[in-house]
Structure 1
């Protein structure tokens, strides 16, 4: 029998339910949200940095309860919210959008990979050498004040928002197309997918870069964005292109002629 096709993450492309893999994936993404919050709220990250001989940003919980967000100051609360947003998006995707089997190995790999990246962002946000925390983030300021005081943070949050909305909206759009009986066996190149043939990967790259910028500034954001750009361009996109060519034939060829960009409009 021919081998079952898999994607670049060694995840099965077979459309079926996978309760164990799905449960592992949801558990890891939910646990990551708790972990990032705990690193910030319980001081675990700052303690580790100081133990290793580094200097941690002296975040303090605001005395005014109106300026405390679940026990966090404004800037740590923003970082915790970014972790929550990424985990929520992934859980919504696996429960309501993805039709492919999430094997336990793939769930472990993807879940762990995202937690490692989020943890690096959190730790860098706490280290004085890398932190992108605005100066007023340690003072009695609101989240709005902290954001407006830092162009870097505004850029990071903007990239994060545009990226995660683009990724999720494109996936919902494609699922709505696929769910219609008359579209069975058809490739989709409309909506956001008319901007780039892998616009969901482009969205992921943007929000990952934005998350990194928000935590550790432009250098870390550029490094993160470049990593995913290279990864998608050299591994994920060629793998998916082969799969779609084999499955859709001329349909896919026609879409690629009409949509010249692969990852992000006007870039690649």
Structure 2
């Protein structure tokens, strides 16, 4: 008689899905580690700072001028110390992702999030941010060499700030890829946050207990929040490195999230919602990208 087929191995997941309980230790660990990423990125981005020193140690040429060349005059010492508008933009992206993820954990997520998961997720985000920073700082991969360039009018409150020594400057010139990457970042952060807020509002309604969320953007794709993440991660890299790096990062994130994270969620939802989930998959056939995939 043939041996019974062993049950499929459960996929690895950092989040304890279905375990609805607060984990203050994990939450505090995550907040602290994500906040620590910001001074690290600032130290790496500063001219003649930690990033330039590390590039020199491995024999790579730096893209930014040495300390003492001031292109930023905002009156904010921490920002002006970065010297270049794109460096300040990358630091703002690191800060925005930190705020969004802390907001998700403290206001939108109900699952337990132990310290081990907090350390792993924080380390991954710091690694991605650090990679973007190093690619921007290195002359061979920086977005500063991306073309074409576009000139954008500065808001009135910045017209004496990003002047490059010219107090009358009213425009800033940046690679088009940096502008597109910034728009991708903003759209991705907004989509990810909005989708998660919609799902929480749906789940919080007593009449929706035990139901699959099918409202709002969740009619577009079954894991539409992952599309938001892929967009902002890809946009971040595009702002740092240019067209090729940004498109490769976006494609990689879509592939990874659809196969790895999406597989984890499919397994969990199939077990929890059963026929409801299979009906949802028939109604919304797209995993991440509406109308495409």
State whether TM-score is above 0.5. yes
Q: CA deviation at 1:61?
A: 2.6
Counterpart of 1:162 in structure 2 is 187
Q: Distance in 2 between matches of 1:125 and 1:231?
A: 24
Q: Where does structure 1 lack aligned partners over 5 or more consecutive residues?
A: 1-5
Asked whether the equivalents of residues 163 and 203 of structure 1 are also in contact (C-alpha less than 8 Å), the reply is yes
Judging changes above 3 Å, is the alpha-carbon distance between structure 1 residues 144 and 178 closer, same or farther for their aligned structure 2 residues?
A: farther
Offset from partner CA, 1:195-227 (integer Å, 9 cap, x none): 110001111011101100000112221222222
Counterpart of 1:11 in structure 2 is 15
- The answer to whether structure 1 residue 72 and structure 2 residue 58 are counterparts is no
- The answer to whether structure 1 residue 58 and structure 2 residue 68 are counterparts is no
Q: Distance in 1 between matches of 2:29 and 2:80?
A: 27
Q: 2:53 aligns with which of 26, 44, 47?
A: 47
- Correspondences of 1:133-152 after superposition (within 5 Å): 133=144, 139-140=164-165, 145-146=171-172, 149-152=174-177
Q: Distance in 1 between matches of 2:21 and 2:72?
A: 51
Structure 1 or 2, whichever has the larger Rg, is: 2
- The answer to whether structure 1 residue 101 and structure 2 residue 107 are counterparts is no
Q: Where does structure 2 lack aligned partners over 5 or more consecutive residues?
A: 1-9, 152-161
User: What TM-score comes out, normalization by structure 1 length?
Assistant: 0.89
Q: Report the number of matched residues.
A: 263
SS of the residue corresponding to residue 133 of structure 1 reads: helix
User: What TM-score comes out, normalization by structure 2 length?
Assistant: 0.82
Q: Distance in 2 between matches of 1:138 and 1:122?
A: 23
Q: Which has the higher strand share?
A: 2
Q: Distance in 2 between matches of 1:99 and 1:257?
A: 27
Judging changes above 3 Å, is the alpha-carbon distance between structure 1 residues 70 and 96 closer, same or farther for their aligned structure 2 residues?
A: farther
- Correspondences of 1:1-268 after superposition (within 5 Å): 8-13=12-17, 14-41=19-46, 43-59=49-65, 60-62=69-71, 64-65=73-74, 69-73=79-83, 74-133=85-144, 139-140=164-165, 145-146=171-172, 149-268=174-293
Q: CA deviation at 1:46?
A: 1.2
CA RMSD of aligned residues (A): 2.6
Offset from partner CA, 1:234-257 (integer Å, 9 cap, x none): 211122112111111222122211
Judging changes above 3 Å, is the alpha-carbon distance between structure 1 residues 138 and 131 closer, same or farther for their aligned structure 2 residues?
A: farther
Larger displacement relative to structure 2 (229-238 or 172-181) = 229-238
Judging changes above 3 Å, is the alpha-carbon distance between structure 1 residues 64 and 138 closer, same or farther for their aligned structure 2 residues?
A: closer
Asked whether the equivalents of residues 7 and 240 of structure 1 are also in contact (C-alpha less than 8 Å), the reply is no
Counterpart of 2:158 in structure 1 is none
